[in-house]
Structure 1
Amino acid sequence: MVRPAESPSWPSRRPRRHLAAAALGGLGLVAAALTAGAVAPAASAAPAAAPAADGVLMSYVVNSKANPGQTRLAERAVRDAGGTVVQSWPEIGVVVAHSTSGSFRDDVVDVAKGHAVQSVGATRTAAVKTPADAAAQPRSLARSTETRSAFEIRQGVSATEVAPDPLEAQQWDMTQIKADVASDGSRDVTVGVLDSGIDDTHPDLAPNLDAKNSVGCTANGVPDTSRAAWIPTTSDHGTHVAGTIAAAKNGVGIVGVAPNVRMTSIKVVDDDGFIYPEYAICGFVWAAEHGVDVTNNSYYVDPWMFWCSNDPDQAAAKEAVRRAVSYSERNGVVSAAAAGNSNYDLANKTTDTTSPNDTTPAPRPIDAGCEDIPTELPGVVTVASNDQAGAKSSFSNYGDGVIDVTAPGSRILSTVLNGGYGLKSGTSMASPHVAGVLALLKSSHPNASPAELVALVRAQADDKPCPSDVRCTGTAAYNGFFGDGLVDALDATQGR
């Protein structure tokens, strides 16, 4: 295992594209160049976006240059095209708009006359729900982990409810990454949990939850700070994730990786279990502007498992999310994300049979220009899952040059609703271990940049060689199953 010498900017032994970008100086600028440059296969022209039906309320992102003047011009173009401005983010040049016009994409570009509007894309294939639609569908708070939410089913997470005692003794995952002997982290560090909400009444979570800076983003990407907007309604997934990151060391239940850090609930999963681009954009921008140091992202952005740059809609939405992630990074936020639970080789993409998941999925060919977001975006730590024996979890995605690190994700004990505890499996459970370790690293290296923290978490990881599996390519130092290896919480707190 390579150790950083004197500087926390020690490079990873196997740089992914975002670490290479950092080495060139300027993550945001290089990431933009990567997105704009090597996106679509050169041999195929971008297909025309399918028109929406007139009279159907659809959601769009309209991208402009990232400044207030250009964003105002984009807003004007939206209104002149008969659309409604729902939310604007001049910080990143993104406008969220709704329209019932089937020609809205073309109309916005036409009225802008080549100015302000850089790209337009639908963020979903299903119609936007109106307030009347939402009122007609009763919301139910998940009471048992035996019944998985639509979100968990879509993400491939399995769950089981367990008795509350004993608890810490069952946390094999904390022992495996040495969190049980590591320091607790700093109260000055905050982790934003972009997920389905955090139960603020749970005795293991309430001590560390920052309600004042929590937010809901599921009202079409408009931030809502009311408690009702950021607590769980149909899923305990976010509550489980939060417990792994920072369940308090208070003599009750379990202990998180970083039990002394703060958490904010940033709700990006709606009551139907979807995380649309505008929700994720809201979440990352909120994190950037409200004191968050680390974000955890145990999801992929719907409705496309892979967002392809040769499709105008998908390209525009992917660019908008990329801008939000890059903006958060420029504001000091480092992010971890789940690699996914399809046992898929992310380095050799060929087909996608699950998208779009909000209407009718249809098989389609995909390639390297199609990315799982946010996990494959520049600057994000991509986390694979391993089991108690240290083997790759059967469900975990993998990929040489894509996976950064691995962490425990099979049958992980953590917090669920109503003060309870449950077992869940998925890369969704692996990613919060890494978010917790990043929080410990931020505690011990308070002046480190996001890129430096990424380099540290990879350099400190314990090497894990490939098993006798032809799908695993690489070396003991880096391979497609485990990346740079198993994250190490103890090293993170020893200032190495």
Structure 2
Amino acid sequence: MNRHAPIRRLAEAASAVAVGGALLTGAASAAPTAEPPSTPVPVATPDGQVFSYVLNAKHANPGQTRLVSRAVERSGGTVVQAWPQIGVVVAHSDRSAFRADVARSAGKALESVGVTRTVPVSEVAPATGSSARSSVAGDARTTRKATDVESTSSRPVPTDPREVEQWDMQMIKADHAHDITDGSRKVLVGVLDSGIDADHPDLVANLDVRSSVNCTDSGRPSKTGWEPTTSDHGTHVAGTIAAARNGVGIVGVAPKVRLASVKVVNDDGFIYPEYAVCGFVEAGLKKMDVTNNSYFVDPFEFWCDDQPDQHAAKEAVRRAVTWSTKQGVVHAAAAGNSGKDLANKTSFQDTASPNDSTAVARTINSGCQDIPTELDGVVTVSSVERFPVDTLGSRLSSFSNRGLGVIDVAAPGSRILSTVVADNGYGLKSGTSMASPHVAGVLALMKSAHPTWKPAKLIEKLRQQADDKACSAATAGVPCVGTTRNNSYFGEGMVDALDAVS
């Protein structure tokens, strides 16, 4: 399945892909000279049509962010959201020359500016720049870190009825980890996705409503609208992380930790850069402990540094991830479902981008990345399936991306049973989207057991504790590369929930 929420349709404005391009005032990270440049995807922004832009200040501080915001207004744009913590401004404009004009106006205060989509915005137009919000508090999670591990070794609640069907929990030893702890209520996991069903009986006890946020209104945080509307993808992900041990349905990897719904998927199924930026910054502002990211940022499967528009959007997301990590948030992300080798970008073409208008067959290079999963400090998770069937043996799922030095760990991702919106029930889904929340859950257990550990140590221990998994027979005709300790299929191995809390 697609890493995104399954409600995905192409926008009708295919003519938006034409001439034009973002202005890049700073030096973008160029691809190695031995590699070909990526195929240009210029985006036309005709007069009279409102497009969305991200602008990155040269330096991430309030002063330069204000300078960039003023340049937006002088250039005929509207400031939608300013993030002074990372020096990023989100703007709308209906002027074709906006990119060039704002670059001239901002001068040395601006690092880069780029359009975030290949189609006009569909959201309601924001207020004028003078009333735009500059968030200093935001998305999910209001609680502090845990100070102890909440033992559940003598828990009185009986095994949940469908727990016997959860082979995935057995594969990562979550069932044994639960004999030590179900996690701490002081740990909060932000689910950056399509929303969490607020009244599902297996989720309601763990859902932190006050900490939940909607980022799909042009990238502005809102306390309303964070529940699912067109997709149950986020609800399924949430159940894998933290479905409660309550005698009902299933059990999550960390059934006592709290969940925050951080909605970054709009009703058409798109996750645009400004939505992701909002989600990550809000996670940092509210001191979340873990986020799960089962998506790639639209409209490009791979964002290329040598394309000015793409560089600007990628830089904005990178800054948001880096800043939130410094606030203590650790991030897990799905590797992707294209069956590609992420360590060898010149071995294939990207034929699915841009996905909000008309896709083109693109040559890409090592400066092109699937974000957020390939950004520094993000745990990249590949997917495995049961093999042989009805055993706890495993092999790489046929759809899973791979890559030596790219994949950190592996987790179950094929035919995973979890919570869905329909009838407050349960269903099977497949994808690296389903693998990543297993790792987010393990990180939540680890944070429960070791509340003082920072993101770098959590990732280090996660990788060290993963069960080594040797290269297996080629999946989809693609051989595995590397050693038992670290290879292109499984990274450093199968994530281990028991070691995380032992």
* TM norm structure 2: 0.83
CA deviation string 1:5-58 (max 9, x = no partner): xxxxxxxxxxxxxxxxxxxxxxxxxxxxxx977542336779695442121110
Structure 2 CA distance, aligned partners of 1:464 and 1:432? 20
The question of 1:58 aligning with 2:51 is answered yes
Structure 2 CA distance, aligned partners of 1:115 and 1:55? 28
Q: Which structure is higher in helix share?
A: 1
Change (3 A) 1:438 1:371: same
- Hey, what does 2:460 align to over in structure 1? 455
Structure 2 CA distance, aligned partners of 1:225 and 1:39? 39
CA deviation string 1:279-327 (max 9, x = no partner): 0000000100113100000000000000000000000000000000001
Unaligned runs of 5+ in 1: 1-34, 133-164
- 3-state SS in 2 of match to 1:433: helix
Matched residue type, 1:338: A
Change (3 A) 1:36 1:403: farther
Structure 1 CA distance, aligned partners of 2:120 and 2:436? 31
- Of 89, 95, 103, 1:95 maps to 89
CA deviation string 1:93-138 (max 9, x = no partner): 00000011111111001112x2211100011101101439xxxxxx
- Hey, what does 2:359 align to over in structure 1? 361
Structure 2 CA distance, aligned partners of 1:381 and 1:127? 33
- Hey, what does 1:30 align to over in structure 2? none
Structure 2 CA distance, aligned partners of 1:235 and 1:118? 36
- Hey, what does 1:485 align to over in structure 2? 493
Percent identical pairs in the alignment equals 65
**Equivalent residues in 2 for 1:249-398 (5 A)?**
249-350=245-346, 351-389=349-387, 390-398=394-402
Whether contact under 8 Å (2:37, 2:365) holds in the other structure is no
Change (3 A) 1:257 1:194: same
Structure 1 CA distance, aligned partners of 2:28 and 2:479? 29
- Hey, what does 1:213 align to over in structure 2? 211
Whether contact under 8 Å (1:51, 1:103) holds in the other structure is no
Structure 1 CA distance, aligned partners of 2:229 and 2:68? 35
- Of 70, 84, 99, 1:76 maps to 70
Matched residue type, 1:488: D
The question of 1:170 aligning with 2:165 is answered yes
Structure 2 CA distance, aligned partners of 1:279 and 1:240? 20
Q: Please identify, of 421-430 and 44-53, the stretch whose mean Cα deviation from structure 2 is larger.
A: 44-53
The question of 1:190 aligning with 2:188 is answered yes
Structure 2 CA distance, aligned partners of 1:220 and 1:74? 18
Give the aligned CA root-mean-square deviation in angstroms: 1.6
- 3-state SS in 1 of match to 2:239: helix
Whether contact under 8 Å (1:385, 1:409) holds in the other structure is yes
Change (3 A) 1:475 1:328: same
The question of 1:86 aligning with 2:86 is answered no
The question of 1:110 aligning with 2:104 is answered yes
Structure 1 CA distance, aligned partners of 2:186 and 2:328? 14
Structure 2 CA distance, aligned partners of 1:272 and 1:439? 30
- Hey, what does 1:401 align to over in structure 2? 405
Whether contact under 8 Å (2:28, 2:306) holds in the other structure is no
Change (3 A) 1:73 1:48: farther
Structure 2 CA distance, aligned partners of 1:69 and 1:356? 34
Structure 2 CA distance, aligned partners of 1:223 and 1:194? 13
- Hey, what does 1:428 align to over in structure 2? 433
Whether contact under 8 Å (1:41, 1:310) holds in the other structure is no
- Of 31, 42, 67, 1:40 maps to 31
Structure 2 CA distance, aligned partners of 1:56 and 1:48? 19
Matched residue type, 2:49: V
Change (3 A) 1:444 1:37: farther
Whether contact under 8 Å (1:414, 1:423) holds in the other structure is yes
Structure 2 CA distance, aligned partners of 1:320 and 1:329? 14
Matched residue type, 1:432: P
Unaligned runs of 5+ in 2: 1-25, 126-159, 388-393
Structure 2 CA distance, aligned partners of 1:372 and 1:214? 26
Change (3 A) 1:171 1:45: closer
* TM norm structure 1: 0.84
Structure 2 CA distance, aligned partners of 1:459 and 1:36? 37
Matched residue type, 1:429: M
Structure 2 CA distance, aligned partners of 1:36 and 1:393? 39
Structure 1 CA distance, aligned partners of 2:488 and 2:367? 19
Structure 2 CA distance, aligned partners of 1:208 and 1:61? 34
- 3-state SS in 1 of match to 2:403: coil
Change (3 A) 1:428 1:97: same
Structure 1 CA distance, aligned partners of 2:37 and 2:183? 50
Matched residue type, 2:267: D
Change (3 A) 1:289 1:39: same
Size of the alignment, in residue pairs?
425
CA deviation string 1:456-486 (max 9, x = no partner): 1110000110013252100000000000000
Matched residue type, 1:423: L
Structure 1 CA distance, aligned partners of 2:304 and 2:29? 12
